[in-house]
Amino acid sequence: MRYFVAVAEERHFGRAAARLHMSQPPLSRAIKQLEAECGALLFTRSPSGVTLTTVGAVLLDEARALLDHADRVRVRVGAAVGLANLTVGILGDGTDPGVSRLAAAYRRQHPGIDIRIRDTDLTDPTCGLRAGLVDVALTRAPFDETALTVRALRSDPVGVVLRADDPLARRDELRLAELDDRRWFQFPPGTDAVWQSYWNGGRRREGPVVRAVQECLQAVLWNGTVGLAPLGHDLPSELAVVPLTDMAPSRVVAAWNKGDANPLIRSFIRMATAAYRP
């Protein structure tokens, strides 16, 4: 069932195999065996991926319910031996509607679980995963994914934050090259290099060092610094955000340590995938 759900959600055998940390041939064999047991095709295959058949769509609902039940059993057993807690790291905007939907769903599914939240600044995109401070992180990619498993939840377009009286703030859209003469936010030394490069538009920049979102906004207000931010967030009236046409979207992701079989994390990831679905 876990194999089937992975293929159904990824809509691609290769991506599903990577998510399950296995090679593709045994995954394909397992799905074919499941189809033989069901007596019907579960997927329509094509060179670009797969789509669920009518039978597959019915099975997907049942499979998710079965897996949720299996995880609830493991959680109840864990609670009996004092293991019923989960620490979640959150980077950035905790008011994201996806977070609210996920929290409500998780409370309903696991009412007896102690959820501990660790709110982190912009210097660690993994929210303390590598240091063992959290079990799972809700954050933004890209960053160094070594020894981590990362599940994409949503992609947000990115824009540049400017003072409202900046001449560029009157534009409908901008390109990165038009900001080359500006000072940009920088993160402290030792910050993940992949993360820093993304938020600097893929090249080395100069500018003030910041650690938190509010520090970024104040740097714009006081110094005219520019920086990137996902679109769709409320800003003070003194600030404006202009979409960037040549900037890759910012991916909201869930991340956890590779190989961690904690059923609370598996349940969290499934619910997060549903909560952030457009």
**Which are the contacts of 153, defined by CB distance < 8 A and separation ≥ 6?**
98, 138, 251, 252, 253, 254, 272, 273, 275, 276
- Both 243 and 172 in one domain: the answer is yes
Residues in the chain: 278
| pTM reported for the whole predicted model | 0.71
Q: Output the CA–CA distances (angstroms, integers) from residue 88 to 64, 73, 103, 198, in the order listed.
A: 22, 21, 11, 24
- Both 18 and 137 in one domain: the answer is no
Is the CB of residue 195 less than 8 Å from the CB of residue 187? yes
pLDDT score recorded for residue 263: 84
- Both 147 and 105 in one domain: the answer is yes
pLDDT score recorded for residue 260: 80
- Both 73 and 8 in one domain: the answer is yes
- Both 188 and 256 in one domain: the answer is no
Task: Report the number of distinct structural domains present in the chain.
Answer: 3
Domain C-terminal end among 82, 114, 135: 82
- Both 65 and 187 in one domain: the answer is no
Structure tokens at 35: 């189809």
- Both 238 and 276 in one domain: the answer is no
Domain C-terminal end among 49, 82, 115: 82
- Both 98 and 146 in one domain: the answer is yes
- Both 239 and 207 in one domain: the answer is yes
* CATH number, domain containing residue 142: 3.40.190.10
Q: Output the CA–CA distances (angstroms, integers) from residue 148 to 9, 130, 144, in the order listed.
A: 20, 9, 9
For the segment 216-236, what is each residue's pLDDT rounded down to a tens digit? 888 998 988 888 999 987 888
Cα–Cα distance between 254 and 259 in angstroms, integer? Answer: 15
89-114 burial, b at 16+ Cβ within 10 Å, e below that, comes to bbbbbeebebbebbbebbeebbeebe
- Both 255 and 270 in one domain: the answer is yes
pLDDT score recorded for residue 256: 95
Cα–Cα distance between 240 and 226 in angstroms, integer? Answer: 11
pLDDT score recorded for residue 109: 84
* CATH number, domain containing residue 10: 1.10.10.10
Q: Please give the residue range of the domain that contains residue 217.
A: 158-248
In the chain, which stretches have pLDDT less than 70?
71-72, 74-83, 92-95, 278
pLDDT score recorded for residue 79: 59
Domain C-terminal end among 56, 82, 108: 82
Q: Three-state SS for 42?
A: coil
- Both 137 and 165 in one domain: the answer is no
Cα–Cα distance between 171 and 220 in angstroms, integer? Answer: 17
- Both 205 and 277 in one domain: the answer is no
Place of tokens 């293991």: 83
